[in-house]
Structure 1
Amino acid sequence: MTAAQLAAELEVSVRTVYRDVESLHAAGVPLYGDAGHSGGYQLVAGYRTRLTGLSAPEAEALFLSGVPGPAAELGLGSALAAAQLKVRAALPPELRAQADRMRSRFHLDAPGWYAQDDEVPHLPQVADAVWNSRVLDVRYRRWKAPTDVDRRLEPYGLVLKAGRWYVVAGPGPRTYRVDQILGLDVLDEEFTPPDDFDLGAYWKGYQADFHARLRRGEAVVRLSPQAASRLTGAAAQALSETGTEEPDGWIRAVLPIESHDHAHGTFLAMGADVEVLGPPELRARLAETARALAARYASLLRKSDI
């Protein structure tokens, strides 16, 4: 086919055809051109593209990255499976074997053990609205009163975090849990996301702000070695930065707390393996709870003494 014929078929300019042919040559595609009245471009007979450019780690990572659960929730489960089959068929035999071994030996299951799977019946509609830049009218349930509210959302993107789906939407933007959407209507109205909006950068900032809000206060505590070994996340980091061992083997440290209510429950769960030294209000509240528990179980203690 001549450059003019290709341009007409692909609905581009002849200059674009020339540029693309040069790019294909540079990529190693055996596309050749003959000059003259009866000339034109032709592809070497029998040529088929093969993903020979993939390295072994790249092929392994490709099959490890396909998480079937989230894909199915988005309505893309069958599409993901078909895409993986096509890519696998195009791989050279040695890379195909390594990719198969990776898939048979590693399984990704992101949600925690004690978290029940959220029902997200509206996720496919939200995903479609994100993809097509369509405005949503939603009925949303939030944690504070009034709990059920109506919102007009311009959905910029979806994020899957620890097995839970979030939609980042304007105006704002703000973050909404998809499983808390009670109902929605997809409007004919379209929107244009801000030119400077970057979903990855927004989410990174949102997480930083979330963790900062979780550390609004501090508590001075003494921990048994067993309790100290069970700390995770920000508490474990604070322990490593502020912890000092005392003569009895316990560790004194300053730990971040979200609120007195939250800290009260957290430290009660540690039982006798923690002593809260401050703030005084939290220490007094825990002491009051301890007295109430002792009074509740006093009859059992008296019977055991007898």
Structure 2
Amino acid sequence: MSRRVLTTAAALHALLGSGRPPAVLDVRWALGDPHGRDHYADGHLPGAVYVDLDTELAAPPSPRDGRHPLPGLDTLQAAVRRWGVRADQPVVVYDDLGNTAAARAWWLLRYAGLTDVTLLDGALGAWRVAGLPLETGIPAAPAPGDVVLRAGALPVTDADGAAGLAAAGLLLDARAGERYRGEAEPVDPRAGHIPGAVSAPTGENLAADGTFLPADALRERFGRAGAGAATRIGVYCGSGVTAAHQIAALEIAGFEAAVLFPGSWSAWSADPDRPAATGPLPSGSPSAVAGSAGGSS
């Protein structure tokens, strides 16, 4: 069953003044920027709790599991309680990057069984544009929450499963086009993409103001990528972070149960036995598909 994915700035402002305010989580993170907590301190939504993506929304990196493996359930539950989330309390998450980082928290909490979790549409920018108040500094920790998590409410797959989706379903690559094509690879061992995967950059889920495109526009976008005919849809990115944004967009568009490959390209490219395709086509060209043993990446 599809659930509401987004909350507007106006709706959140009203909820914060209601008798049942949501927990608000600030996931200020960007690749290569270690200063998320400082950005949070410079200005965040009233009552928002800072969430560290690298240490609270991911396990330690490894070649097998990638740069942002899923955290263990006990570790995640301890973090969510530390954020003050209570049983049956709505949760709203946001960042300052079009929700491309916040979607990781949205996905993880949904995966762990919480049902009323939404993204602030337009992220922090929408709140600012609406002229709504911000707080500064690092507040005292909230009272501990009591939420109980249960993993498995959303589907995941490993590298073999991702290869299967690329061959007999639809596997979307949510990274920027130049990384998909193998023209640039700033962080992972090899350039290119999983053979058979279709390029669908996360940034194209958003309008110019940072809000998600309307559902019909997203449905048309993913339909052009083959989602309309696919019985199973999987998504990966660099390390399983922005792929969650793609899953949110697919749900807004009406496609349900998209499968996340958490290890994503960071795990796939670290395995020398996994082939890499380059170029704009899903399977690349015959000369562009090879494992590291073939010398082409």
Identify whether the pair has TM-score above 0.5, normalized to the shorter chain: no
State the structure with more CA Rg. Answer: 1
> How high is the TM-score relative to the length of structure 2?
0.22
> How high is the TM-score relative to the length of structure 1?
0.21
Q: Compare the two structures and name the one with the higher strand fraction.
A: 1
Q: Compare the two structures and name the one with the higher helix fraction.
A: 1
